[in-house]
Amino acid sequence: MAQPDSKKIFFENLSGAGKAIAVLTSGGDAQGMNAAVRAVVRMGLYVGAKVYFIHEGYQGMVDGEENIREATWESVSSMLQVGGTVIGSARCKEFRTHEGRLKAAYNLVQRGITNLCVIGGDGSLTGANLFREEWSGLLGELVDQGLIEADAVQKYSALHIVGMVGSIDNDFCGTDMTIGTDSALHRIIEVVDAIMTTAQSHQRTFVLEVMGRHCGYLALVSALACGADWVLIPEMPPEDGWEEKMCEKLSATRSRGTRLNIIIVAEGAIDRHGKSITSSLVKDLVVKCLGFDTRVTILGHVQRGGTPSAFDRILASRMGVEAVLALLETTANTPACVVSLYGNQSVRLPLMECVQMTQEVQKAMDEKRFEEAVKLRGRSFENNLKTYKLLAHRKPETELPTSNFNVAVLNVGAPAAGMNAAVRSAVRVGISEGHKMFAVSDGFEGFYKGQIKEIKWADVGGWTGQGGSLLGTKRTLPAKHVEKIAEQMRKHNINALLVIGGFEAFESLLQLFEARATYEEFCIPMCMLPATISNNVPATDLSIGADTALNAIVETCDRIKQSASGTKRRVFIIETMGGYCGYLASVGGLAAGADAAYIYEEPFDIRDLQANVEHLTEKMKTSIQRGLVLRNENSNDNYTTDFIYQLYTEEGKGVFDCRKNVLGHMQQGGAPSPFDRNFGTKISAKAMQWISKKLVETFRHDEGRVFANTEDSCCLLGMRRRALVFQPVVQLKEETDFVHRIPKEQWWLKLRPLMKILAKYKTSYDVSDSGQLEHVVCNRPRDLDASVAM
């Protein structure tokens, strides 16, 4: 809901002058913590507050002295791409005692710190809340001991706490994703993809053990992302007799010609009686029952290491800024809150409500109420589990419903990583629903040429991790070939259509909808899934493939910046893809720490270019050694990448030199990221369930055929803020700029000021979208389920 205009530009209304904010990381480290620290420091300084680092977590707060240091703008340079936490993290027994918290309070008051930003897990956040509740009493004791003046009690009367959850386990209730989870999934999937090649060579079974002592999120999502044969997690122990069922499943998979098996085990996996299920136990079981050559790989702390993913950098940056906003807006009566992600929106939730819900999950597991534990984990976790069961375990033919419907699936437009995961999901869910599935090769070009064949369950095995489009995809639109396409639909008796692609797919569905007036063959349920690296499809915040492209951009920018390490000052001009859509340049710029990003949606002229050069020159003289400027390929016809490169080169003489890089099609290639695999898998499953429902609704029993000609039978499935919505494509025309192939309104434009603030520009920041304090809801309404994102 839009906020009053008085809250539009926070820099004028929310000042941090006179305030002191301290940031600490506590508990286990997680990739992305540094991005959160950087955002807190720079946003805090931007609003005029003093910002302090507390090194070594709560231990540093208790010890004080050099562990609490004032932060500067430059002190967080070059930390965005670093894994772990550069300010250190430690578990502190002393802080659990009253005496330890008394020392910590003294150290904070000495520096005038009354605003704490804590990045950690539920234990760290619970400790922070206890500290806040005791604060006034602790100050009273310090006065009694003569350590502080009496007026300090009034001056520093309240301690304000805002938490951000940094945990690779994603075990905190109240947020769809915690900082570090996506990066940990990247590490796991990198290992699984590498293992699959050697497993295939030797026809081996691999048992992989991943972290998750009390939470099976990493195991479950990585199993979904790689198409594992079996997964074992603590929240949902297998039924008694699971050993035989697992071995039957592995044997059946091999009998269909598959050369490998993957089993993923969470380190905290248990059976129904609470007995631990270890990776070595699973290996011995497979060897004993099946005689398969089996190996165990324990990933261990590899999952915590490495550089943060693009998702984690963006998430942490958004949360860091939101945390500072929350601290500025807090009052003495505001409860300690945690900044969370719900769908694609930041929200603030009461910290202790989230902690209590998290503890309820463990209590449910201890009391063997496993179904309830899964529900308490949240809709995201529950969806992952349902989707995994749907796709991994094939029902016997005798148990499948018989719908007698034929559903065709095809890819349209440029290839995008994650398309194959979406096709696999559609095929398997369709078969589970009783449909006969048909694959169309080469988009609508293949359609009118008759390149259509039935596709079976086993045909899509191993597709999840494949990049590009295995079905083949073309940009050809159907308008010129509707007669031939209608003929092929008659020939194969196609009753529904699932189109996976970018802007061309959107245009195709519009053309097929209009063709209904002439050809009844198109009066069937039709659904489109957005899949394009450009993320330029209307009515959806995210598209399949965009996350993989962002990671490619960010990894390349990291390497490019590192290439200038130790040399003279240098600025890199990077050109990204995206057509006229500036998503990749803008969000990639935020994730890579760019100084500027030029896009079509935000017009710029020579004065803006000159101001950027001068700003960068000033920064180069005083602090940074490397600069990064991104430019969307179609941002301006005249201010080309070459022009900008030459301008920066000329104007930066004597201060920095320039290099340019055009990233090109490397943004379109590579294996899909865990996010794109899961996003594609789950929205495709949801789309197929919608198609099944529409087929039943529109089947005319008296005529023995499907007839659907309403607007709501031709839809795009998109994610909008918190909601996953099926939207009639014909109603989206008004929202679309067809000339430039972009939506007229794009949510990510609100992130651009954030990138500028973090690059030290003075700018206005619209906080009408900032998170408002809400309450934890155990199970969100199904129609607002945006948790399929991860």
Contacts of 538 (CB under 8 A, 6+ apart): 506, 716, 732, 735, 736, 743, 744
Nearest to 62 by CA among 29, 14, 102, 12: 102
Q: What length is written for the chain?
A: 790
Alpha-carbon gap, residue 22 to 1, rounded angstroms: 31
For the four alpha carbons of 181, 187, 193 and 196, in that order, the dihedral sign comes to negative
What interhelical angle do 33-46 and 310-329 show, nearest 10? 40
Alpha-carbon gap, residue 70 to 54, rounded angstroms: 9
- Structural Rg of the chain based on CA atoms: 27
Alpha-carbon gap, residue 588 to 24, rounded angstroms: 26
Alpha-carbon gap, residue 231 to 253, rounded angstroms: 15
Looking at residue 354, what DSSP letter applies? H
Describe the strand order of the beta sheet including 570-576 as a list of residue ranges. 596-598, 626-632, 570-576, 657-662
Helix, strand, coil shares of the chain as percentages rounded to 5?
45, 20, 35
Nearest to 427 by CA among 186, 201, 685, 666: 685
Over the range 190-200, which residues count as b (16 or more CB within 10 Å of their CB) and which as e? ebbeebbeebe
CA 605 → CA 361, 572, 612, 701, distances in Å?
55, 20, 11, 63
Nearest to 260 by CA among 461, 107, 466, 490: 461
Looking at residue 360, what DSSP letter applies? H
Phi, psi of 526 (to 5 degrees): -130, 135
What are the structure tokens assigned to 728, written together?
């009639």
Contacts of 715 (CB under 8 A, 6+ apart): 526, 527, 528, 690, 726, 727, 728, 729
Q: Is 207 exposed, middle or buried (0-12, 13-18, 19+ CB in 10 A)?
A: buried
Answer yes or no: are the C-beta atoms of 436 and 407 closer than 8 Å. yes
Instruction: Check 29, 63, 122, 169 and give the catalytic one.
Output: 169
Nearest to 667 by CA among 522, 744, 572, 554: 554
Catalytic status, residue 169 = yes
Answer yes or no: are the C-beta atoms of 654 and 620 closer than 8 Å. no
Decide the pairing of beta strands 115-120 and 20-25: parallel
Phi, psi of 506 (to 5 degrees): -60, -50
Decide the pairing of beta strands 705-706 and 699-700: antiparallel
Answer yes or no: are the C-beta atoms of 309 and 31 closer than 8 Å. yes
Residue given tokens 């999901």 in the structure block: 425
Rounded to a whole number of angstroms, the distance between the first and last alpha carbons of the chain is 24
Alpha-carbon gap, residue 343 to 326, rounded angstroms: 20
Residues serving a catalytic function are 169
